[in-house]
Amino acid sequence: MDFITLFVPLRLKILIMDLQLEIKRRRTFAVIAHPDAGKTTLTEKLLLFGGAIHTAGAVRSNKIRKTATSDFMEIERQRGISVATAVMQFEYHGIKINILDTPGHEDFAEDTYRTLSAVDSVIIVIDGAKGVETQTLKLMNVCRMRKTPVIVFINKLDRESKDPFDLLDEIEKKLQIKVHPLTFPINMGSRFKGVYNLFDRKLNLFYSENKQTLDFETVEFTDLTSVELEKYIGDDAEKLRSDVELLDGVYAGFNIDEYLQAKVAPVFFGSAVNNFGIKELLDCFIQIAPHPQKTLTDIREVDPFEEKMTGFVFKIHANMDPNHRDRVAFLKICSGIFERNRAYTHVALGRQLKFSSPNTFMADKKTVIDFAFPGDIVGLHDTGNFKIGDTVTEGEIINFQGIPSFSPENFRYIENADPMKFKQLAKGIDHLMDEGVAQLFTSRFNGRKIIGTVGMLQFDVIQYRLEHEYGAKCKYEPLNLYKACWIKSDNATQLADFMKRKHTNMATDRHGRNVYLADTAFALQSAQTNFSDIKFYFTSEF
């Protein structure tokens, strides 16, 4: 027996002993927000505190800007950069933190929904002046569906904001979750003095001239009645005393279990661009946020502490180089230890695959790793084997759940614009659908192919990528539809009747399942009323 064969199993044995420890010290989460609330800024500041980056700007480059709605070339450029920032890993006080990046642009909301399937908790950023916005609501609905614990960070207190009590009420009502402020702001805008930490009973003082410092002055302040308070925050002392009295009355004792059960959201106030309030957020986060949790499959729940490796692909990223059609598949490890060069089962393909250069990501660089633990995200070099949602195991035939496609709301017929490139077009469309860029339906009425997307930008992205990566040309024809939804029924007669009556609106998805293409909200509503034995599904997983 040579040295390697002796050495590797021994090393693995030690790692298995470490498995428990490694799982318990991991936190995998995403920062979500309505565009412009400060997600990119906060992410960057978390990385700064974690020592993963040393200058501002490293994450910013990944941002798909609002102004880019028609400028998808810019998106293509940024897509390249975002491979590196898709997952950002850093260590803070012995805790290994994996931040999963989510696209800022709302046309890519579906990417965000899928990323949420791979996290154990989220931080929601809210702009203090704007309060709860539409995208925040949608994302929160997904978190609620998945019972993901959330922490709220109310940002931009250095600007004129809504009244903090009103904000707390608004969050509670609109996001439908009880809130529990753990810090509270002292004034706002140009009069912003800092926050009072209700948990540690400390005063964190804000001086706007100290913009880029990471250490703000913190004063222990258990007795707010002390006249010393005036020394620090002047006229605002009286208001803080009455605010804290009120808060102590309304929000008694923070209960971590309620947070972990997604019943209560702790709330922090601060200013990301000024690094203010981030340390409190991060310190609390590492204490309360959950380590990797159980994940549901079609057969059973997988516990991260199980020794056998399991994982699923939640994101696929195409290579930017048009000469190489390879991609990166992002595998979330759900249990056991992932090892480089070990053969794993790709459940959907029923094949064994080995990965010789799996990557992890650290801000702007990627590194080849030998092992990865539950909660980690591993980038796998892929030549077309993976689809979103694919499960990888040590042989067990299970499929992880909770990575659905959402019913699209924008539709176009897609046609081949270059008859010589039919094969390339078919292959390109197939690959792009595997990546989850859009969904492909075939009309049962006329056999034409229909592309359905969540955002309008995807149409441009598809056309551009087909041409530049596959050498194929497509053209679109408008199609006015309201929504696509999957239908199923135990009442075969009613289903047959429905499909006959609606035959011009029936299609199949890539898996041959029945899809109803509703023209209008009214048509959908009356279909639901008139065909009560038919179930209409708005995500592909049912």
Residues 453-512 that bind ligand G4P (CB under 6 A): none
Q: Decide: is 452 part of the binding site for ligand G4P (CB under 6 A).
A: no
In the complex, minimum distance from the CB of residue 99 to ligand G4P, in angstroms, rounded to a whole number: 13
In the complex, minimum distance from the CB of residue 37 to ligand G4P, in angstroms, rounded to a whole number: 5
In the complex, minimum distance from the CB of residue 45 to ligand G4P, in angstroms, rounded to a whole number: 9
- CA neighbours closer than 13 Å in the CB half-sphere of residue 120: 27
505, containing H or E segment? none
How is residue 5 written in tokens? 């064969």
User: 476 with 486: CB under 8 angstroms?
Assistant: no
What's the rounded Cα separation, in Å, for the pair 429 and 451? Answer: 10
In the complex, minimum distance from the CB of residue 74 to ligand G4P, in angstroms, rounded to a whole number: 15
In the complex, minimum distance from the CB of residue 179 to ligand G4P, in angstroms, rounded to a whole number: 20
| x-marked contacts with ligand G4P along 17-56 as a string, rule CB under 6 A | ----------------x-xxxxxxx---------------
| x-marked contacts with ligand G4P along 104-143 as a string, rule CB under 6 A | x---------------------------------------
| x-marked contacts with ligand G4P along 141-180 as a string, rule CB under 6 A | --------------xx-xx---------------------
Between 59 and 313, name the residue whose CB sits nearer to ligand G4P: 59
| x-marked contacts with ligand G4P along 233-272 as a string, rule CB under 6 A | --------------------------------------xx
Please report the DSSP string for 348-378 in residue order: TTTEEEE-SS-EEEETTEEEE-SEE-TT-EE
Given the DSSP bridges, would you call strands 202-205 and 217-220 parallel, antiparallel or unpaired? antiparallel
Between 158 and 236, name the residue whose CB sits nearer to ligand G4P: 158
Listed in order, strand segments (DSSP E) in 104-172 are: 121-127, 150-155
Between 273 and 450, name the residue whose CB sits nearer to ligand G4P: 273
What's the rounded Cα separation, in Å, for the pair 243 and 413? Answer: 58
Q: Count CB neighbours of 211 within 10 A.
A: 12
Among 25, 63, 431, 465, binds ligand G4P (CB under 6 A): 63
Residues 343-402 that bind ligand G4P (CB under 6 A): none
Q: Which residues of 154-179 are buried (b: 16+ CB within 10 A; e: fewer)?
A: bbbbbeebbebeebbebbeeebebeb
Q: Which residues of 216-242 are buried (b: 16+ CB within 10 A; e: fewer)?
A: beeeebeebeeeebeebbeebbeebee
In the complex, minimum distance from the CB of residue 378 to ligand G4P, in angstroms, rounded to a whole number: 26
In the complex, minimum distance from the CB of residue 124 to ligand G4P, in angstroms, rounded to a whole number: 11
Beta bridge partners of 534: 489
Query: Coil, strand or helix: which one is 489?
Result: strand
Query: Which spans of this chain sit near ligand G4P (rule: CB under 6 A)?
Result: 33, 35-41, 63, 104, 155-156, 158-159, 271-274
